Chains A and B, each alone.
Chain A
Amino acid sequence: MTVYLVGLAALCLASLLAATLSDRYRLLGAALVGVAGSLAALVGAGRVLLTGHPVALHTGAVLPLTGVDLSLDPLGALFVAVTAVVGLAALCYSVGYGAHATPGRTATAMLPAFLATLLLVPAAASVATFLIAWELMALTSLLALLGEHRQGPAIRDAAQWYAAMTHIGAAAILLGLVLLATQVGSQSFAAIDAHHRQVPAPLASVAFVLVLVGFASKAGAVPFHVWLPRAHPEAPSPVSALMSGAMVNLGVYGIVRVGEGLLGGGELWWWLVVVALGIASAFFGALHAAASSDIKRLLAYSTVDNMGLILIGVGAAGALAADGQRFLAALVLLAALFHLVNHALFKGSLFLGAGALQHATGTRDLDHLGGLARRMPATAVLFGIGALSISALPGLNGFASEWLLLEGLLHGFTSHSAITEAALLAGVAALAVTGGLTATAFVKALGVGFLGMPRTERASEAHEVGPSMLAGTALLAAGCVVVGIVPGIALPILDHAVSSALAGGPPRALRSGIGLDLASLSGAVDPALVVVGLLGALVVARGALLLVPRSAELRRPRRAAAWGCGGDTQVPRSEITATSFAEPLQRVFADVLRPDHDLEVTHAAESRYVPEAITFRQRLDDATERAFYQPVITAVAGWGRLARRVPNGSVHRYLAFGFVALVLVLVVLA
């Protein structure tokens, strides 16, 4: 606990340094102290994870009336560790990211502060502490998001959406947790956990639904995700990585902590709702990711997708536990948490890689990129690792957790309740569909962004980014590879987390080893063997090629066709773009994506049959936003206009307000 607290203190110090040091040392000083702080937090959390013994601390010194209750159990420590790793990479990365145009003091100071609050939330062990940590997180993340606000109005718009959504969510969580605390008569999590049976079932359901709304909005689950595709792209890239790799996780943490922990599992339908949220998010997120041409927006929607997969796992685990299938529940929850860890690693590295692209070319639009693999080879390799991981290819970490999740869901068909089985089946289908869509999205990101020819001058003038940025990205990418090849190393840690999350300490779901082996169910995979086999096959194939004598046909010199249409005169404009790559998908899912095309043809002055320029613009609407949010916004704006009629500028009316209020008060007094 001490090491963890030292880490938090170091991050606060880093924030302070960033706010006070001179421009020259600001970034470096904050990053160095911040990296030390994240390492300390990682060590503190790692000790809890490896031993499985929770540590706790209560101090009355910080907050009046309630004091601060902190406790790190393996579940919380898992989230602290994940956050610390992503934070480490993001802080390292921020040195190079801010080197050219040094960001303002607030922006620099908010990154370590945001990280500190992210590390604090999973350790909170009472309602008051949790809510304060949560609010602090909302506030610092909002300020961190506004880091580059001078670059355009889109950031302010994103910040408004984010602020509104996060505060609605926080209000729902506040109501839910306070309801529980008043029913139990104590605000400490341990007391609520011990006496949750005192809470009448309907009230427990109300509390769960309230916290679910709050946490789902933080996790970016459809339909509460609207802030996410706005905020993640507009934030500075280290902040995007933290938001997507660490902050959204805390939504999942909240659902597991309150649903499985404080409320002891609750009722079946709660978890079916979670599964439904997960399926909607996975499908919707993957589809929009496949259709987006803004690379950070694509990544943001893919976060929605992955959070959906994790929620499917969490919900399925809850449903299976409510069915009494504790073993399977533990397996599925482990898979979900594993995917969460992996998502943090690959999405963190992808966001940092996308930041490098933006840094080098000044644009996030894939249609303006291309050919970057030759100009930024290291970034291309790191981004490629992330893209292959997220597409769940064997040998990388995304495969390990998605395989485990799929196995868990499939084995769940032995459940006793038909509705659970149906939910699991839908989950499997969602996993399959999103797997394909995610692969499409990242083939597009990698292919259009890094391969082919540069489409614009900026892309052709791109240069490799600095070593600190590469180091930050590489740290996370290395994690993807290591966990991908030997997923077994993560299992003991995840086991501790799962057994502290599910009440009653279920049996270990997996046999320890370097691969994944379901202990008592049939099913095992060893990615290390797959990788060795694939590499071996490659070597053999290359060797075989050497042996084959080259035919005379191949040795003969080639000639280009006279008019150049034979393919040798490839120009950037004839290459496939991100928009055109996604076009068939957009046609198929036009009802969900609702693409809005705008085609403008300018004719040459001489003849109107000769087009001079063709401008094509396309905007994708978010269907949920139009269905759920626009009516509310319109109504609120309407009320606002009505209210504006009251103060019409007449001095007499303003005076009359005061006079009438005074007279009314006097009448009440009399």
Chain B
Amino acid sequence: MSSHPAFDVAELAAGVVLAGAVLALWRKDLRALIPILALQGAALSALAAVLAVSDGNLGLGVVAGVVLLAKGGVVPGLLARVVRADPGSRETAPLVNVPASLVAAGALVVLSYLVAGRITALAPDRLTRLVPLGLATVLVGFFVLVTRRKAVSQIVGLLLVDNGIALVAFLLTAGVPLLVELGASFDLLLVVAMLQVLATTIRARFGHVDLDQLRELHD
């Protein structure tokens, strides 16, 4: 981790992940969310690859491959199938409208910078200084979960949270162990696959995928 290009790539990747999260908050068209997720996956994979090269860590290299495959390829692919089954579906009326959401995202980024100050203070270097971006991605992802109505948006929110966590993990610990990352990726795949089936079933049953109208199910 001595060469400057590695840091540059890492900064770029972290920036892309957060920017992707904010974009996901901005775009109402569900189809537009898929490339954003794929881009985030690719950025995470690139970050892992750069770290693997600079550390000479083969395991991390494999992780980079897995991340690219799962988050950059399979998961967006699965999501794309859900969206394709219901073309023209848009996040028409989010619980918090888009401009307000963007302002909130700004506030969340500020908050994560404030919080992450303590973490970066433990080992201040160029990589750990990027941690707030990961935290902010987690928070924005959570915000998407809370405020968006469509099932697809919910899945996207969950994926954003996961991407944020992965980003923080890569930055702080130079990558989680291979086995853990494999397990986490597999879990994520399963969750997305399940949500895909669920979303399809809900649409078949109720004719829409608007979670807000499902409150009759309580108790």
Contacts and interface: CB of A to CB of B under 8 A. Distances in A.
B101 to A, nearest CB: 13
Contacts of A666: 111-112, 115, 139
Given A663-B111, A666-B111, A667-B111, A647 B218 contact: yes
B180 interface: no
Contacts of B146: 652, 655-656, 659
B215 A670 contact: no
B216 A649 contact: yes
From DSSP, what is the main secondary structure of chain B's interface residues? helix
From DSSP, what is the main secondary structure of chain A's interface residues? helix
Contact of A659 (B143, B216, B217): B143
B118 A669 contact: yes
Nearest to A655: B146
Nearest to A650: B215
A662 B214 CA distance: 25
A666 B218 CA distance: 30
Nearest to B118: A669
Range class of the B interface residue count: 20 to 34
B218 A649 contact: yes
Contacts of B111: 663, 666-667, 670
Contact of A649 (B143, B147, B219): B219
Given A662-B142, A667-B111, A670-B111, A651 B118 contact: no
Contacts of B216: 649
B218 A648 contact: yes
Given A649-B217, A652-B211, A669-B118, A663 B147 contact: no
A652 B142 contact: no
Contacts of A659: 142-143, 145-146
Contacts of A670: 111, 114-115, 117
B95 interface: yes
Contacts of A667: 111
B215 A648 contact: yes
Contacts of B112: 666
A491 to B, nearest CB: 63
A421 to B, nearest CB: 61
B212 interface: yes
Interface in A634-670: 647-652, 655-656, 658-659, 662-663, 666-667, 669-670
Contacts of B215: 648-651
A441 to B, nearest CB: 46
A372 to B, nearest CB: 49
Contacts of B108: 663
Nearest to A649: B218
B145 A650 contact: no
Contacts of B95: 652
A656 B117 CA distance: 25
Nearest to B213: A650
A225 B145 CA distance: 52
Interface string B204-216: 0000000110111
A17 to B, nearest CB: 43
Contacts of B154: 651
A651 B139 contact: no
A670 B113 CA distance: 9
A542 B143 CA distance: 98
Contacts of B217: 649
A667 B108 CA distance: 10
Nearest to A662: B142
A186 to B, nearest CB: 44
A651 B215 CA distance: 7
A650 B95 CA distance: 12
Contacts of A652: 95, 146-147, 149, 211-212
A649 B154 CA distance: 16
25 contacts: A648-B215, A649-B214, A649-B215, A651-B154, A651-B211, A651-B212, A651-B214, A651-B215, A652-B95, A652-B146, A652-B149, A652-B212, A655-B142, A655-B145, A655-B146, A658-B142, A659-B142, A659-B143, A659-B145, A662-B139, A663-B111, A666-B112, A667-B111, A669-B115, A670-B117
Given A651-B215, A666-B115, 16 more contacts: A649-B215, A650-B212, A650-B215, A651-B154, A651-B211, A652-B95, A652-B212, A655-B145, A656-B146, A658-B142, A659-B143, A659-B145, A663-B111, A666-B139, A669-B118, A670-B115
**What 10 pairs across the A-B complex have the smallest Cβ distances?**
A649-B218, A649-B215, A670-B114, A655-B146, A670-B115, A656-B146, A659-B146, A650-B215, A666-B115, A659-B142
